[in-house]
Structure 1
Amino acid sequence: MVQGPITLAIIGAGNRGQLYASFALKYPSLCKVVAVAEPRPRTRSLFVSAHDIPPSNVFAHWKELVAGGKLADAVIIAVQDRYHTEVVKACAPLGYHILCEKPLATSAEDCIAIANAIKEAAGDRVFAIGHVLRYSPYNKAIVKLIRSRELGKPINIVHVEPIGYFHFAHSYVRGNWSREDTSSFSLLTKSCHDIDILCHYFYPATPVKVSSFGSLSHFRKSAKPEGAQSATRCLECPYERECAYSAKKIYLEPVERGHVGWPAHVLTDGPPDIENITEALKNGPYGQCVYESSNDVVDNQVVNIEFSDGSTASFTMVAFTEAICERQTRIHFNNGELIGDMNTFTTTDFRLRKKETHAPKPDEDGGHHGGGDMGLISSFVEAVKAGDKNLLGENTGVDHVLLAHLVVFAAEKSRREGAVVNVIEFEKQLRENMQL
């Protein structure tokens, strides 16, 4: 048990790192940020000022922070996905409690390697993954209802992740997750926590078979409107006013109206303003035509899962929606049905002919994902402070984290190969190959 506020080191002070760190500013009696590693000078400077971090604990590279030994009770790892493996493996032996942003890693082999490293080094240390959906009041209420068996046994779930048309263009066409060779496939980078929540709903049943289909259907040069002619950047495009994915509409015009939050604030090192955003659109990837970008990740995908008790789930991830990440879920029980939209859900009891609406409310500053962001960091801080990893919640151990990720990799294998994948055999083969 930690007396007083626990101390946090932040590796990666980007969007997610800043979000988790903001919990310390809101609840200084619970935790304090005492160290940071962030390569961008202005972003790093602003972060240091906000958290009053001593100069000796400020680093431009995560390796410098790790080289200094253990600097805090816990570390939050919010670097780009492809660096998770080496950062987690470097931090675990130092005795840190660890919160790693999702996904665990960008290859199935690295996910297994991280799980092994955590189990070898953890002891009583807390390890949490950024599966924030579990921590929203909405999903907690759904899980409570499922576990109560009030509507009987869950038989089937239909779950949709509407990414949002301009969100997909921002993150998965122009942004950091646009290419598999520099990040990974979009089911992993965007929706691994959706697969996790499905596994969590059906627990203790486990996923056994997976199939999947999907493609990059729209964000490619062949779909470029004729009116765009030869333009490769939005600021030079004659079709810009008619284009749904105009960078001026997504970034510049909102900043001109005073909206300097997401997504504009990730384009610049430090606070965005009209001059800096214009410069970024002229010269950076966020000003490129979405039909001329180098993206290659799929923009729509379906995943079907069969569980060990015979129950089934279908998941759809799709870019082309007005709603941004406002999941839609239908759970079919043998004695009832649940229909939800990430804010409220309605249950129908077939036996009693009774319909009821539930509206779990997140905290006012609960962050995104229906309050799941602050729900996760709050649970992590509580678990670290008490020295009790069980406070993270039901089936949150690293083996459960690994299994949910392996389902995602199995789904991608199915999509590429056009075959149903047995999850148990898939993991067995992976481990055997790693020993060769």
Structure 2
Amino acid sequence: MDKKISIAIIGLGARGRHYARCCKEFSAEIEIVAAADPIPERVEQMRAEFNLPAERCFASGEALLKEERLADAVFICTQDREHFEPAMKAMKKGYHILLEKPVSPFPDEWRALLAAAEEHKTKVLVCHVLRYTPFYQEIKKAVDTGIIGEIVSIQAMESVLWWHQAHSFVRGNWRNSNETSPMILQKCCHDIDILLWLMGKKCSRVTSMGNLFWFKSENAPEGAGERCTSCNAGEDCPYNAEKIYLENDKTGILNGNNQWPCDVLVPEPTPESIREAISSGPYGRCVYHCGNNVVDHQVVTMEMEDGAVVDLNMCAFTTGSRTVDIMGTKGEIKGIFSDEAFEIIPFGKSPMVCSTKQQPGGIKIEYDPYGHGGGDKYLIRDLIDLLKGNSVQGKTLTTLEKSLESHFVALAAEESRVNGGTVVELDKFVNGGG
């Protein structure tokens, strides 16, 4: 049997813990051997779940990286502005890297990481998980057959669920772009990545509009308190934290959900611990009084070098899923991500419905709390293949270099948005403005 690939994890928030659990699907090939996080309860949970020795558990990524190399690869799942330094240190130590998106909010750091990866011959896989989903994989195959001809336009919708917006971008870690990243980069760099990948063309110009429309103090209902537990408007408020984290059919602990988003409030959710977190923690604050500044809706238009266009509409006021409509010179492809199905409609012919509910490769997708359609587990599968030398370079890997095109487009979109929707020339932005 081949030697197992060993993994250290820096950052044991929801994503870090989820990737660790995805590794269990491939336990004959990969194992978690070390972990680091400043929250002791998270480290203890990881130690117990993965049977880690105490000397392989650390209170910080810095402490872990002071040691001699402990694993073949490191998962860096810290906050957006905390990716660069551990990634640079890890490269020097000889680790390969799985890097949570976005890579960083700062283009100079992207360039430095690219140079360091080349210098140290580091394999870096960025967590653009949508590329790995059967849904987008099968759409890409259909596009590449030429069945709908040349793509002229793509319209895509990133429907940020109403409670997800409140959880992550109003109350949560990504509520303030001055502390993390603009929302179009943090939330949608992998939407932009998948659209550029499907289009198969280079972006030349970007324009964008959007703003923070609703989640601000002037829109608070009469009787709203600073916290949901002391609010006279909570009965009629869909964003009431008690409804989301306790009562909701899909997200509430009282209905059996002890994973995301509940495990962001406390490492081991129980009804009692969730009630305490709502009473005293950040996720029980009124959504109209959270000091957030990121947008709650934004539209991005990308023009390709050949004149084709892509429109991405990100909106927080939805109950739906990602959708995509790809319009070509010979036909159209329309898909709904949550349905795990799409329709190919050649002009003048009968439509063909394609379902991706059967997961290929023997990967079990019993529960995907992030709604990523199995992409997280397929990402881990691809990491294993990459480190074993079994991957086909240039096909589906979200390498560091490939990932950064979406990052530049996202920041160009933000540049456009804050300047009233002005057109941003991407080459100029990349080579000087970015």
Give the TM-score of the pair, scaled to structure 2: 0.93
- State the shift of 1:266 in Å: 0.8
Q: Is this contact kept in 2: 1:380–1:392, CA < 8 A?
A: no
Q: Is this contact kept in 2: 1:348–1:354, CA < 8 A?
A: yes
Q: Is this contact kept in 1: 2:125–2:397, CA < 8 A?
A: no
Alignment of 1:402-413 (within 5 A): 402-413=404-415
Q: State the partner residue of 2:299.
A: 302
**Matched residues in 2 for 1:346 and 1:307: separation?**
24
Q: Is this contact kept in 2: 1:16–1:78, CA < 8 A?
A: yes
Q: State the partner residue of 2:125.
A: 128
- State the shift of 1:273 in Å: 1.8
Q: Which amino acid aligns with 2:415?
A: K
Encode CA deviations 1:206-263: one digit per residue, 9 max, x unaligned: 11100000000000011111242xx111111011111010011011332234332221
Name the SS for the 2:352 alignment partner.
strand
- State the shift of 1:116 in Å: 2.3
The 1:421–1:395 alpha-carbon spacing in structure 2 relative to 1, beyond 3 Å, is farther
Q: State the partner residue of 1:51.
A: 50
Q: Which amino acid aligns with 1:213?
A: M
Q: State the partner residue of 1:9.
A: 8
Alignment of 1:37-76 (within 5 A): 37-76=36-75
Q: State the partner residue of 2:244.
A: 250
Q: State the partner residue of 2:285.
A: 288
Alignment of 1:151-166 (within 5 A): 151-166=148-163
Alignment of 1:76-95 (within 5 A): 76-95=75-94
Q: State the partner residue of 1:118.
A: 117
Encode CA deviations 1:333-372: one digit per residue, 9 max, x unaligned: 1000010001110011114x12100001234427331111
Deviates more, 1:303-312 or 1:366-375: 366-375
Give the TM-score of the pair, scaled to structure 1: 0.93
Unaligned runs of 5+ in 1: 432-436
Match of 1:143 among 115, 140, 144: 140
Q: Which amino acid aligns with 1:242?
A: D
The 1:78–1:31 alpha-carbon spacing in structure 2 relative to 1, beyond 3 Å, is same
Name the SS for the 2:388 alignment partner.
helix
Name the SS for the 1:211 alignment partner.
strand
Q: Is this contact kept in 2: 1:138–1:344, CA < 8 A?
A: yes
Q: State the partner residue of 1:278.
A: 275
Q: Which amino acid aligns with 2:416?
A: S
Name the SS for the 1:314 alignment partner.
strand
- State the shift of 1:299 in Å: 0.2
CA RMSD, Structure 1 to Structure 2 (Å)? 1.7
Alignment of 1:8-407 (within 5 A): 8-122=7-121, 125-203=122-200, 205-228=201-224, 231-253=225-247, 254-268=252-266, 270-323=267-320, 326-342=321-337, 343-351=340-348, 353-361=349-357, 362=359, 363-365=363-365, 367=368, 368-386=371-389, 390=392, 393-394=395-396, 396-407=398-409
Q: State the partner residue of 1:434.
A: none
- State the shift of 1:389 in Å: 5.6
Sequence identity percentage: 36
Name the SS for the 2:311 alignment partner.
strand
Q: Is this contact kept in 2: 1:11–1:77, CA < 8 A?
A: yes
Q: Is this contact kept in 1: 2:298–2:314, CA < 8 A?
A: yes
Q: Is this contact kept in 2: 1:178–1:297, CA < 8 A?
A: yes
Encode CA deviations 1:104-124: one digit per residue, 9 max, x unaligned: 1022222222222222222xx
Unaligned runs of 5+ in 2: none
Alignment of 1:416-431 (within 5 A): 416-418=418-420, 419-430=422-433
